Structure 1
Amino acid sequence: MLNFYPGPSKVYPEVRQYLTDAYDEGFLGTPHRGDQFVQLSRTVVSLLKQKINIPQDYHIYFASSATECWEILIQSLTVNKSSHIFNGSFGENWYNYAKKLRPKAESFRFDLNEQMPVEDLNISSDTELICFTQSETSNGTHVTATPILNLQNRYRDKLIAVDATSSMAGLNLKLIKADIWFASVQKCFGLPAGLAVMACSPRVIFRAKQKAERAHYNSLLAMYEKMLNYQTTHTPNVLNIYLLKRLLEERPVVKLLDEHLTARANDLYTFFSQFTEISPLVENEEVRSKTVITLQANERLVDDIKKKAMQQDIRLGNGYGPWQRNTFRIANFPAIQDEEYEELKRFFLQNYSWI
């Protein structure tokens, strides 16, 4: 099965051997307060900073998912409200969840063919946390470095949190330009679902100490205190943390992965430009995602493409949210090999050359 689903997606083939090694090395039953786990956690933190360019003074935490990170950040860093900037379903979902915890949360929606309009934002003075999604999985857009820098410069007194689930560990993000970055590992990390990585600047820890919120098992302040000793507040996904260590040890630095994924994304967009009835959902090339290629066609054609692909053991991503019926998505993640994309191209040429 060729798996181009945009998450959970294909895992690195090496994971099969790593699973056996984890068993043989005793990690499946190791105490999460013991020396074996502490050394594992310490090593993973070091590797994350080295391989995906997390600033050295940022603090790294483990959670179960990016969705849990939404909750942690709203609980621990806001009393009044957060402000959410989005153009797709996952950014909107974050806002809707925040509103359940902090009813005064505010939102700013922008068009999927425009850059995040920082100059047009009117964020309230009592906002404590600005939130956005760097790579919007639902529609195949992304926020480039310049708007993030502009947002940081305009709202220096606010914390900025970025959901980078579909780009972290695949793209060379300028992580120093925001206070918080987080991602689940079932996409660009190339691992099974069930673990998230969150990186927080020193400003975040300062604010968490000021607010001193301790009402939840994963309150950020409690997470900070435990990770001073490379431990977690709860029994973590030790297996996935072990798999993360093994992968990071062997993967190239993120700059090289970025170059590869960017070239492959450009190639895919060029390839699909030859079809008259299939086109990128996002017309503005500048804001097209490099890691989630979203293509649109009429509903009947989309349904036919997905069914035929599955019959030939090719799993494409369904459309999502408002684009559920008229789009399909193709993951461009590091674990997927170039030859698999060549096979995907052959599928389209053999079955849809007439369009």
Structure 2
Amino acid sequence: MLNFYPGPSKVYPEVRNYMVDAYDDGILSAPHRGEHFVQLSRTLLGLIKRKLNIPQDYYIFFTSSATECWEVLIQSLTKHKSFHIYNGSFGEKWCEYARKLRPSSEGTAFDLNEPMPVEQLNISSDTELICFTQNETSNGTQVSPTTILNLHNRYRDTLIAVDATSSMAGLNLKFIKADIWFASVQKCFGLPAGLALMACSPRSIFRAKQMGQKAHYNNLVSMYEKMLNYQTTHTPNGLNLYLMKRVLEDRVFIKSIDKQLTERALDLYTFFEQFTDFKLLVENHEVRSKTVVAIQAQERIIDEMKKRAMHHNIRLGNGYGPWARNTVRIANFPAILDEEYEELKRFFLHYYA
């Protein structure tokens, strides 16, 4: 089965052998307060910073998912409100969840074919956290490094948190331009679901200590205190942490992966622009995602496309949110091989050319 679903997506084939190695290594039954786990955690943190180009003074934490990160950040870094900027379902869901915890939280939507309107934002001075999704998986858009820099420059005194679930470990993100970045691992990391990584600036940890919000078990202050000893607040997903270590050891540096995905994304967009039965959902080249390609057509065509693809052992991603019935999404993740995309192209050329 060729899997182009944008998460959980294809895992690296080497993961099969790594899982056996994890069993033989003993990490599956190692105490998470013991030296065996601490050594794994210490090694992994170094690999993450080096291979993903994360600043050395940023702190790395592990959670179960990106959606858990939403909760941890709202609980730990806001007493009153956050401000959310979104153009798709996942950014909007983050905003909705924040309002359940902090009813004063605010949000603003922008069009999927337009860049984030940084100059038009009206974020009040009492906002404690600005939140957005760098790569909106639901519709195949992304926020450019230039836009993130402009946001950073305009709101220097406010913490900025970025959901990078469909881009971290795939794109060479400029981590220094925001305070918090987080992602689940079932996309560009090429790993099984059930683990997320969060990178936090020194300033964000300082603010968390100032606020002192420790009413919840996985609060940022407690996570920070435990990670000083390379430990987690909770019993961690030891298997996935081991798998991440092995994958990162074998992968090239993020600059090379970014180059590969950028070139492949351009090729995919150029390829899909030639068809008449369907069109690319995102028309503006400047805001198209490099890691998730969204194709739009009539519902009948989309249903037929998914069934035909599955008949040929090709799994396309369902649409999501407002685009659930009239789009398919195609992942452009590092674990998927170039030859698999060539097979995907042959499928489309056979049925839709």
Q: Is the 8 A contact 2:66 2:182 kept in 1?
A: yes
Paired position in structure 2 for 1:186: 186
Paired position in structure 2 for 1:235: 235
Task: List, as ranges, runs of 4+ consecutive aligned residues in structure 1 with deviation greater than 4 Å.
Answer: none
Structure 1 letter corresponding to 2:350: Q
Paired position in structure 2 for 1:270: 270
Is 1:144 the counterpart of 2:141 in the alignment?
no
Paired position in structure 2 for 1:46: 46
Deviation readout 1:133-163 (Å, 9 max, x if unpaired): 0000000000001111111111111000000
Paired position in structure 2 for 1:169: 169
Counterpart-to-counterpart distance in 2, 1:289 and 1:260: 14
Paired position in structure 2 for 1:75: 75
Counting only pairs closer than 5 Å after superposition, residues 68-147 of structure 1 correspond to structure 2 as 68-147=68-147
Cα deviation for residue 118 of structure 1 reads 0.4
Paired position in structure 2 for 1:58: 58
Counterpart-to-counterpart distance in 2, 1:284 and 1:352: 23
Paired position in structure 2 for 1:199: 199
Cα deviation for residue 277 of structure 1 reads 2.0
Q: Is the 8 A contact 2:38 2:229 kept in 1?
A: yes
Deviation readout 1:214-249 (Å, 9 max, x if unpaired): 111100000000000000000000100000000000
| Local SS of the residue matching 1:8 | coil
Structure 2 letter corresponding to 1:215: A
> When the two structures are superposed, what TM-score results if normalisation uses the length of structure 2?
0.99
| Local SS of the residue matching 2:100 | helix
Deviation readout 1:71-96 (Å, 9 max, x if unpaired): 00000000010000000000000000
Deviation readout 1:293-322 (Å, 9 max, x if unpaired): 001111111110001001111000001000
Q: Is the 8 A contact 2:63 2:197 kept in 1?
A: yes
Counterpart-to-counterpart distance in 1, 2:73 and 2:352: 46
> When the two structures are superposed, what TM-score results if normalisation uses the length of structure 1?
0.99
Paired position in structure 2 for 1:308: 308
Counterpart-to-counterpart distance in 2, 1:152 and 1:263: 28
Paired position in structure 1 for 2:23: 23
Cα deviation for residue 26 of structure 1 reads 0.3
CA RMSD of aligned residues (A): 0.5
Counterpart-to-counterpart distance in 1, 2:167 and 2:119: 25
Counterpart-to-counterpart distance in 2, 1:305 and 1:73: 39
| Local SS of the residue matching 1:103 | coil
Counterpart-to-counterpart distance in 1, 2:34 and 2:216: 24
What fraction of aligned residue pairs are identical, expressed as a percent?
75
Cα deviation for residue 342 of structure 1 reads 0.4
Cα deviation for residue 44 of structure 1 reads 0.7
Counterpart-to-counterpart distance in 1, 2:328 and 2:64: 27
Q: Is the 8 A contact 2:49 2:56 kept in 1?
A: yes
Deviation readout 1:269-306 (Å, 9 max, x if unpaired): 11111101221101100000000000111111111000
Structure 2 letter corresponding to 1:166: S
Deviation readout 1:170-198 (Å, 9 max, x if unpaired): 00011100000000000000000000000
Counterpart-to-counterpart distance in 1, 2:344 and 2:304: 15
Paired position in structure 2 for 1:224: 224
Counterpart-to-counterpart distance in 1, 2:221 and 2:273: 49
